[in-house]
Amino acid sequence: MTSKSTQRNTLLLFLLTISTTAIYASKTGGIAVYWGQNGNEGTLADTCATGKFPYVILSFLNVFGNGSAPQLNLAGHCDPASGGCVSLTNDIRSCQKQGVKLMLSIGGGIGTYSLSSKLDARNVSLYLWNAFLGGKSSSVFRPLGDVSLDGIDFDIELGSSQFYDDLVRYLKSYRTKNQRVYVTGAPQCPYPDMLMGPALNTGLFDYVWVQFYNNPPCQYTPGNTTNLINSWNLWTKSLKAKKLFLGLPAATQAAGSGFIPVDVLTSEVLPVIKKSPKYGGVMLWSKYWDDQSGFSSSIVSSV
């Protein structure tokens, strides 16, 4: 028999361990990476097998809405139109077995997309649910096969902001006992984002990886972290989302501006932004550029 005193001490130690673990977990983050826009960036399975990326965003579904037939563009990896991307089925299963969350990004900097009405948003949401998530429809082709991605990422850089808030709400409503629909987004760092503001204001986003690049007023410039930190603080104060990520180019060539050298990021930026309870980690554009620079390997222990 164990004495009540011993039991009480054991319980206190257990609770203290849980508390310490929770505090540690709140201060650590992960790296999200965009994959899909360069055929020379390695396979999806290889990307997940590195163990560096808890979140991989497949990019992009860059044609949708307003009566257009949705089109998936995965650059040199496969041809969705001919059914070639069904070959990714095993890669997706492999990633998810390792605990990697996979999102399909809609939008991007090149494409034809917009939503013309709330009904249009509902139709697009049903397409996404039936083609890429947990839905089933005999009339909808599944470009990636019979596997279900974990959620939808919004990278709205063209058109208007209209009805994306409706699209978010519809997607979130499709949650089932067996599947949670994650919604993520990549707004530009000027707050509020001109195109994604209304959608973000729904408060339904799980992860938001803000693009702190190609926007000089709110990004890092050589020798100056002030604008970046101020913008980060504004986002964390204002954003209704579970976790916020610092979106960065993975190499100097990956964006027009905003690249942060590893030593600056790990010594001057991360220690500051990790103080926020909303800190989720770092997002990198993209897997291809990360392969060229080795950026993620240099920062993963600090993120």
The structure tokens listed for 137 are: 């429809």
| Torsion (CA) 158, 160, 161, 166 in degrees, nearest 10 | -100
CA distance 43 to 285: 16
Return the C-alpha torsion angle 188, 210, 54, 277, nearest 10: -170
Residues belonging to the active site? 157
3-state secondary structure the chain: CCCHHHHHHHHHHHHHHHHHHHHHHHCCCEEEEEECCCCCCCCHHHHHHCCCCCEEEEEEEEEECCCCCCEECCCCCCCHHHCHHHHHHHHHHHHHHCCCEEEEEEEECCCEECCCCHHHHHHHHHHHHHHHCCCCCCCCCCCCCCCCCCEEEEEECCCCCCCHHHHHHHHHHCCCCCCCCEEEECCECCCCCCCCHHHHCCCCEEEEEEECCCCHHHCCECCECHHHHHHHHHHHHHCCEEEEEEEEECCHHHCCCCCCCHHHHHHHHHHHHCCCCCEEEEEEECHHHHHHHCHHHHHCCCC
Of 255, 244, 99, the closest CA to residue 186 belongs to 244
Give the distance from CA 202 to its chain's centroid: 17
